[in-house]
Amino acid sequence: MHSKGIIHRDIKPENILYSLGTCKLADFGWSVHTPSDRRKTLCGTLDYLPPEMLTGIHDNYYDKRIDIWSIGILTFEFCAGKAPFESDRDI
Active-site residue (options: 10, 59, 63, 67): 10
Helix (H, G, I), strand (E, B) or coil at 24: strand
- Please, what's the b/e burial string for 19-54 (b: 16 or more CB within 10 A of its CB; e: otherwise)? eeeeeeeeeeeebeeeeeeebeeeebbeebbbebbe
Radius of gyration of the chain, Cα coordinates, nearest whole angstrom: 14
10 part of the active site: yes
Query: How many whole angstroms separate alpha carbon 25 and alpha carbon 82?
Result: 21
Residues taking part in catalysis: 10
